[in-house]
């Protein structure tokens, strides 16, 4: 399967801010996971996808009230039962947060099951993300 990107958007409002008046990391994490989930769940049924691990959210710039923030996600690696999404978060064209999340494919009782998917990166950027995701710590 080739890589497909999905975008979600959020308007940063007063209730999303921390005590410094910038976007609260907890709210960012909620939206970050949601975005990664959209990419993973688009390949299977949403009820078969659960979040295992956020490998990191690297913040490079603050986000302010009134900013329209976009989350672009794509599944960049597929293990036997895992799917790893890479998420970039932007305000306008500036990347403000990026990172990886591992999701696990499960049955309706929550038991891990194989998904039968493969990821085939084609561009140099996709190949680099594939290798990074493949080498992420699993525990």
The mean predicted confidence, pLDDT, of the chain is 95
Q: What integer pLDDT is reported at residue 3 of this predicted model? A: 76
**Helix residue spans in the chain (DSSP H):** 25-41, 124-134
Q: At residue 4, does pLDDT exceed 90? A: no
Single pTM value for the model:
0.94
Quick check: is 58 in a domain?
yes
Phi, psi of 27 (to 5 degrees): -70, -40
Residue 88 lies in a domain: yes
12 belongs to a structural domain: yes
**Burial profile 32-49: b = 16 or more Cβ within 10 angstroms, e = fewer:** bbebbbbbbbebeeeebb
- Structure confidence by residue, pLDDT tens digits, 14-37: 999 999 999 999 999 999 999 999
Would 56 be classed as within a structural domain? yes
Looking at residue 1, its pLDDT comes to 59
38: three-class secondary structure by DSSP: helix
Please report whether residue 113 resides in a domain: yes
User: Averaged over 28-54, what is the pLDDT?
Assistant: 96
> Do the domain assignments include residue 23?
yes
Provide the domain limits for residue 20. Answer: 6-134
Is position 22 within any domain?
yes
Q: Is residue 1 part of a domain?
A: no
| Cα–Cα dist 79/25, whole Å | 29
What confidence tens digit (pLDDT) does each residue in 6-15 have?
Answer: 999 999 999 9
CATH of the domain at 81: 3.10.129.10
- How many structural domains comprise the chain? 1
Q: Where are the alpha helices (DSSP H) in 11-90?
A: 25-41
Q: Please report the pLDDT score of residue 139 as a whole number.
A: 66
Residues present in the chain in total: 139
Q: Which residues pair with 77 in a beta bridge?
A: 84
């Amino acid at each position: 399967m080739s890589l497909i990107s999905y975008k979600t958007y959020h308007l940063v409002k007063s209730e999303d801010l921390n005590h410094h008046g910038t976007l609260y990391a907890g709210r960012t994490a909620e939206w970050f996971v949601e975005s990664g989930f959209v990419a993973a769940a688009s390949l299977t049924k949403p009820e078969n996808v659960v979040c295992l691990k956020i490998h990191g959210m690297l913040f490079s710039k603050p986000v302010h009230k009134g900013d329209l923030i976009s989350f672009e996600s794509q599944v960049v690696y597929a293990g036997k039962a895992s799917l790893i999404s890479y998420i970039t978060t932007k305000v306008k064209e500036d990347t403000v947060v990026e990172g990886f999340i591992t999701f696990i494919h499960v049955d309706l009782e929550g038991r891990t099951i194989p998904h039968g998917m493969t990821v085939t990166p084609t561009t140099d950027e996709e190949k680099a993300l594939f290798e990074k995701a493949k080498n992420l710590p699993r525990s």
